[in-house]
Structure 1
């Protein structure tokens, strides 16, 4: 990929000191005179339509794709576009949103429920928007406060009417939204209906709590299992003293061990770049760059590699990004529009600051479109930029 011209450092010296780099090239553009206001043109109104060159190439990438980043940078759009493109190439794909502020339905312009349902009869595309509150109320979350005396391997039987989560945390487990999201990932990890799962994660803070949960829960499971074994041994001893039957395996212990093994498997999958691509989405603004850097640094602490950085809303013509799309799009006028010129300077400065973030990753960029990206036509355009 070409170098970013605004970077004042010696690129050869920098590359030698830090390893291979990936930078992006942003070129000023002219405006489209008398261009259409709507990028997706309606043929019935005698306007040009978008034509996206299809590809029959099979999906060559990991089975799990997670999009993360600051709120409002376009994670949902990227996840929806990736899933649509994957399904159009014949891969059975599920796109799932773990963001409590759902917008997947709006992006696809159709109602999406909390369970995977097909979106199209012609392609193998499924979607789900996880509703943490509903999942907790229905008792679908493995770590809900309302687990009752049979929750967590029967541990509640030794606590009277108080639930395990109330005893351990004084209420519902912290980060219950993330717990539901993690349970969902565990569920779909073993779902043979899908060859690929694309996840639209919540904003950065929620995502990091989600990624911490395997570690937290693994520790918690270990303590609960140890406690359950000690209490079980004590109860069995009392039973033996009074001639009662001895349990070979305490109630619920097998379920706890299975859950612990699944948590460990999820952790291993997230850390395997051959199976999972964690993609950071950012916009060329200073605040987004700073948060993206923090996210990548914290992901490294969890040993979760970042394979791709997506730069969204870049002020460049679509033709500079992909040759697979034909159609007219409004472009910024950097010659006579003072607002466009100012935003161009902001983007250039931000992209220069982001060079460290780009190192060692694939960099994809998506132009700034004049209109909102929603519906399959525009999602196909975004997908062409992400290939």
Structure 2
């Protein structure tokens, strides 16, 4: 595969071989001497099973030039607290008497883990520690929600600012009455910084020179329908599909069953080639009679 981008996303419906193909690609890049990280954001963490080694939340050496990490929501929350917890607490405690545990509650708000999961990937790309980052994404629905999160996050922050403004006068009076010290930073400072981060993440994901997408499917109806929808959704988002991997292709038919399946697959493969052959590299992976 010709994959010039630093970050390569592998996506598709569940069970089509995203983890297998992303792991094989990561091994390929590392064998070329490129320092490679394979990163999974799938809630069903399977890289440990794939490489037969405990991986978890920390970047773990798998082989020469190859590292892996399974990023969980708990680890994302820990990183968020480490990066933003103190400033959020400073602002919250300036207008209410709250314990530091309030940060755990804020960190559990909808969208926080997804947004700062993307922040982590952006940081990895910007640091330059790895030549390649192979991103084994969650099944299609989870991934689209993740990609839409920067825009939704900005909308939520705008709403939070409006609510804060409507309450600001009352809170100022309560602060003065209670003798609570005013924070050096306002909640608007935090909202503005998070909006800038969300905009930076959205721009990063749409940058075709930095981020590439390889769609993975199987030559069956549901797999084809879903990969077509994913490609359409990604295109509307601004993320172009550079490769489509068709997994489990029968190449030799030695019985009636295989002949029928092979004929069925040919129709779906031709459909993909006709619809996307001019914009993406189509790769067929054979169905092997043994485990990979």
Shorter-chain TM-score range: 0.7 to 0.9
Measured against aligned partners, the alpha-carbon deviations of 1:83-107 in whole angstroms (never above 9, x if no partner) come to 1221222222211001111221222
Match of 2:258 among 340, 348, 363: 340
Asked whether 1:224 is paired with 2:160, we answer: yes
Partner of 2:218: 283
**Residues 368 and 225 (structure 1 numbering): CA distance in 2 closer, same or farther, change over 3 Å?**
same
Q: TM-score, normalised by structure 1?
A: 0.63
Query: For the Cα contact (< 8 Å) 1:293–1:357, is it kept in 2?
Result: no
**Residues 291 and 370 (structure 1 numbering): CA distance in 2 closer, same or farther, change over 3 Å?**
same
Partner of 1:265: 200
**Cα distance in structure 1, aligned partners of 2:68 and 2:24:** 12
Asked whether 1:190 is paired with 2:133, we answer: no
More helix by share: 2
Helix, strand or coil: the match of 1:349? helix
**Residues 211 and 244 (structure 1 numbering): CA distance in 2 closer, same or farther, change over 3 Å?**
closer
**Residues 308 and 102 (structure 1 numbering): CA distance in 2 closer, same or farther, change over 3 Å?**
same
Alignment of 1:1-387 (within 5 A): 61-120=4-63, 123-132=64-73, 134-135=74-75, 139-141=78-80, 151=88, 154-155=91-92, 172-174=108-110, 178-179=114-115, 181-225=117-161, 227-228=163-164, 249-250=185-186, 253-316=188-251, 332=252, 334=253, 336-354=254-272, 355-373=274-292
Helix, strand or coil: the match of 1:119? strand
Q: TM-score, normalised by structure 2?
A: 0.81
**Residues 100 and 152 (structure 1 numbering): CA distance in 2 closer, same or farther, change over 3 Å?**
farther
Gaps of 5+ in 2: none
What is the CA-CA distance between 1:279 and the residue it aligns to? 1.2
Question: Larger radius of gyration, structure 1 or 2?
Answer: 1
Query: For the Cα contact (< 8 Å) 1:116–1:127, is it kept in 2?
Result: yes
Measured against aligned partners, the alpha-carbon deviations of 1:266-296 in whole angstroms (never above 9, x if no partner) come to 2111111111111110111111000111111
What is the CA-CA distance between 1:304 and the residue it aligns to? 1.6
Measured against aligned partners, the alpha-carbon deviations of 1:229-262 in whole angstroms (never above 9, x if no partner) come to 6766775688789999876632x65444333322
**Cα distance in structure 2, aligned partners of 1:211 and 1:243:** 43
Query: For the Cα contact (< 8 Å) 2:137–2:143, is it kept in 1?
Result: yes
Matched residue pairs, number?
A: 286
Helix, strand or coil: the match of 1:198? strand
**Cα distance in structure 2, aligned partners of 1:60 and 1:131:** 27
Query: For the Cα contact (< 8 Å) 2:95–2:174, is it kept in 1?
Result: no
* Higher RCO (C-alpha 8 Å, min separation 6): 1
